[in-house]
């Protein structure tokens, strides 16, 4: 009698953090189910209890070596909320600029270093050819441009924050010091080159899209809700603004939500087989309330980007589904590249605002509230820091909803969809398994962040039968 089997991909490669995928096969060796399991645990919410609130931006930034700026931004915003202050305009502008630097460098790394090998060589290329080393040999100019573009984002962070990783310049009430005209000019001088590279990358991606129709159709391509921040005009917003939910037809479910009240709209489910939380849209319940965040969601929700070149590309993006939300997660890459262009243009705009060089960059106060919520858009989506403190400012409770966690339900649904489209249990090909990983790469998850990594990455695929017994193990490295 035929048995059910299970395939396990562990760890998932070319992502940040540790995860594995299991694929259940039925008696006929067709894919029955597939899931992503996040196998690392960090416990930041508990670690932070008992610490003074002033330590939170530095502590929580340590959640991640990739997006420490995003954590510092949300954390300091939560602290602003505890102090009941609003940073001066210069402080807000400078926070916006460093946040965009973070988004640019992270997006650039995902596109050039993690995902581009799939676009260049195809998903069926041999694993030894499907990596950055091969890319350096065959596409050296593109590889160099990837380095330059990421360096631009990193330089913005370093120039403002003093160092590229874990800068301590972003503080409760604003930033620790103003910038000079010289600093402004240093960044402005790099903008033309960064913009040129970003536009070239987008052209490369759109010129090659026709090669990936099957992936476009099956890479987490399904109806879901979308959530992001928008500004008062309903445009793209990464630092402040209001939460907005839309459905897959573009119908507005909620808008104008003050992020401090996120708990009224977002529930958090925990599943037995993963350390990653599964947030959901509360009114629809779990798991029906699945929503997506990140670049695709942001562009689906926004009315416009608000900068000239990005808006030209935004119009083309909107036309992909005749103005309705784009449901294919393969287009996360598309949205990511448009956001890079937006980020560069927006940094230029912000630097050229006269108030940005103002010397008043920080508001000072003591604890005025016992609960504070900070929310911003990280590269991967909406990030929430929610702190409770004593009257003396000691942290008594922390809740973090990390961008990647918001996408957990959608990533799982995407993994299942791709596995069903490409994996044949009778003839398991590496290209099929690479696609299962690649759908996760579309979301650019940061699992180190979202489980709030330790250990050595090994790469293996386990095949399990209907009784969940492992019957075969394949190495992925």
Partner 1 sequence: MRVIIGFGNTLRGEDAFGVDVINQLQKYFKEKASENTKLISVFQLTPELCLELLEAKEIIFIDALYSLDLKYTLACDIKQDIKGTNLSHHISPKIIISMLKDLYNCSFTYEIFSMTTCNFEEFKENDKNKEYKNCVKKVSSFIKDNPSFS
Which part of the chain contacts partner 1 (CB under 8 A), choosing from 12-20, 181-189, 241-249, 251-259? 12-20
Closest CA to 225 of 154, 157, 300: 300
Give me the DSSP letters along 324-369. Answer: SPP-BGGGHHHHHHHHHHHHHHHHHHHHHSGGGG-S--B-------
For 466, what's the count of Cα atoms within 13 Å in the CB-facing half-sphere?
Answer: 9
For 309, residues 6+ apart whose C-beta sits below 8 A from its C-beta are 195, 199, 341, 345
Rule CB under 8 A: choose which of 133, 233, 258, 366 binds partner 1. 133
Backbone angle region of 199, left / alpha / beta, with phi > 0 → left and psi within -120 to 50 → alpha: alpha
Is residue 136 close enough to count as binding partner 1 by CB under 8 A? yes
Closest CA to 84 of 290, 432, 367: 367
- Cβ distance to partner 1 smaller for residue 399 or 459: 459
- Cβ distance to partner 1 smaller for residue 4 or 380: 380
Distance CA 22, CA 9 (A): 6
Site for partner 1 in 449-468 (CB under 8 A): 457, 459
- Cβ distance to partner 1 smaller for residue 149 or 296: 149
Is residue 233 close enough to count as binding partner 1 by CB under 8 A? no
- Cβ distance to partner 1 smaller for residue 128 or 181: 128
Rule CB under 8 A: choose which of 7, 8, 15, 97 binds partner 1. 15
Rule CB under 8 A: choose which of 3, 29, 51, 62 binds partner 1. 62
Distance CA 164, CA 66 (A): 10
Distance CA 79, CA 143 (A): 40
Site for partner 1 in 369-398 (CB under 8 A): none
Is residue 120 close enough to count as binding partner 1 by CB under 8 A? no
Rule CB under 8 A: choose which of 40, 60, 99, 154 binds partner 1. 154
Is residue 165 close enough to count as binding partner 1 by CB under 8 A? yes
Distance CA 82, CA 183 (A): 31
CB of 199 to partner 1, least distance (A): 20
Is residue 41 close enough to count as binding partner 1 by CB under 8 A? no
DSSP state of 48: T
Rule CB under 8 A: choose which of 47, 85, 120, 132 binds partner 1. 132
65-104 mask for partner 1 (x: CB under 8 A)? xx--------------------------------------
CB of 432 to partner 1, least distance (A): 17
CB of 403 to partner 1, least distance (A): 15
CB of 165 to partner 1, least distance (A): 4
Is residue 151 close enough to count as binding partner 1 by CB under 8 A? yes
User: Which burial class, exposed, middle or buried, applies to 342 when counting CB atoms under 10 A from its CB (0-12, 13-18, 19+)?
Assistant: buried
Rule CB under 8 A: choose which of 20, 35, 92, 166 binds partner 1. 166
Is residue 295 close enough to count as binding partner 1 by CB under 8 A? no
Closest CA to 346 of 104, 72, 183, 89: 104
CB of 453 to partner 1, least distance (A): 9
Which part of the chain contacts partner 1 (CB under 8 A), choosing from 10-18, 326-334, 370-378, 408-416? 10-18
CB of 322 to partner 1, least distance (A): 36
- Cβ distance to partner 1 smaller for residue 32 or 462: 462
CB of 57 to partner 1, least distance (A): 15
* CB contact at 8 A, 320 and 338: no
Distance separating the N- and C-terminal Cα atoms of the chain = 34
String of b and e for 172-185 (b: at least 16 CB within 10 Å)? bbbbbebbeeeebe
For 237, residues 6+ apart whose C-beta sits below 8 A from its C-beta are 228, 229, 230, 231, 302, 377
- Cβ distance to partner 1 smaller for residue 87 or 146: 146
Which part of the chain contacts partner 1 (CB under 8 A), choosing from 148-156, 300-308, 313-321, 387-395? 148-156
- Cβ distance to partner 1 smaller for residue 354 or 455: 455
For the stretch 214-218, contacts whose Cβ atoms lie closer than 8 Å and that sit 24 or more positions apart, written own/partner, are 214/421, 215/123, 215/330, 215/435, 215/438, 216/328, 216/330, 216/331, 217/328, 217/421, 218/417, 218/418, 218/421, 218/422
Structure tokens at 22: 């299991």
Rule CB under 8 A: choose which of 4, 14, 37, 385 binds partner 1. 14
CB of 448 to partner 1, least distance (A): 9
Which part of the chain contacts partner 1 (CB under 8 A), choosing from 7-15, 182-190, 254-262, 460-468? 7-15
Give me the DSSP letters along 205-254. Answer: HHHHGGGGHHHHHHSSBS--EEEEEE-TTS-B-SSS-EEEEE-TT--EEE
- Cβ distance to partner 1 smaller for residue 301 or 340: 340
Q: What are the residues binding partner 1 (CB under 8 A)?
A: 13-16, 62, 65-66, 106, 109, 113-114, 127-128, 130-133, 136-137, 140, 143-144, 146-148, 150-151, 154, 164-166, 457, 459, 477
């Amino acid at each position: 009698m035929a048995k059910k089997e299970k395939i396990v991909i562990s760890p998932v490669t070319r992502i940040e953090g540790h995860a594995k995928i299991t694929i259940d096969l039925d008696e006929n060796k067709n894919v029955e189910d597939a899931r992503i399991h996040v196998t690392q645990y960090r416990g930041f919410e508990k670690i932070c209890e008992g610490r003074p609130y002033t330590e939170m931006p530095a502590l929580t930034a340590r959640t991640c070596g990739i997006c420490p700026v995003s954590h510092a931004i949300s954390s300091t915003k939560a602290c602003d909320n505890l102090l009941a202050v609003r940073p001066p305009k210069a402080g807000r502008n400078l926070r916006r600029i460093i946040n965009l630097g973070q988004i640019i460098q992270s997006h650039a790394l995902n596109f050039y270093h993690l995902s581009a090998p799939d676009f260049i060589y195809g998903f069926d290329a041999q694993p030894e050819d499907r990596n950055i080393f091969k890319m350096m040999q065959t596409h050296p100019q593109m590889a160099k441009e990837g380095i330059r573009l990421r360096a631009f984002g990193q330089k913005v962070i370093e120039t403002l924050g003093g160092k590229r990783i874990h800068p301590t310049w972003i503080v409760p009430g604003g930033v620790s010091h103003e910038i000079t005209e010289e600093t402004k000019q240093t960044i402005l001088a790099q903008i033309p080159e960064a913009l040129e590279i970003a536009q070239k990358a987008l052209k490369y991606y759109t010129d090659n899209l026709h090669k990936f129709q099957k992936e476009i159709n099956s890479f987490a391509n399904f109806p879901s809700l979308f959530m992001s921040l928008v500004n008062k005009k309903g445009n793209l917003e990464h630092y402040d603004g209001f939460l907005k939910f839309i459905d897959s037809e573009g119908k507005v479910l909620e808008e104008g939500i003050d992020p401090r009240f996120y708990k009224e709209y977002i529930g958090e489910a925990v599943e037995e087989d993963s350390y990653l939380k599964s947030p959901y849209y509360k009114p629809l319940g779990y798991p029906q309330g699945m929503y997506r965040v990140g670049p695709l969601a942001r562009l689906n929700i926004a009315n416009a980007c608000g900068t000239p070149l990005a808006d030209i590309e935004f119009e083309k993006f909107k036309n992909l589904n005749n103005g309705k939300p784009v449901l294919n997660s393969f287009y996360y890459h598309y949205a990511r590249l448009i956001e890079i262009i937006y980020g560069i243009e927006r940094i230029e705009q912000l630097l050229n605002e006269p108030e940005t060089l103002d010397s008043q960059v920080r508001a000072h106060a003591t604890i005025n509230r016992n609960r504070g919520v900070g929310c911003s858009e990280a590269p991967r989506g909406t990030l929430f820091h929610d702190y409770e403190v004593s009257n003396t400012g000691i942290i008594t409770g922390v809740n973090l909803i990390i961008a990647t966690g918001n996408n957990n339900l959608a990533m799982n649904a995407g993994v299942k969809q791709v596995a069903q489209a490409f994996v044949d249990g009778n003839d398991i090909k590496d290209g099929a398994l690479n696609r299962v990983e690649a759908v996760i790469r579309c979301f650019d998850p940061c699992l180190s962040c979202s489980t709030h990594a330790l250990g050595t990455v090994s790469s293996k695929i386990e095949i399990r039968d209907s009784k969940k017994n492992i019957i075969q193990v394949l190495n992925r490295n």
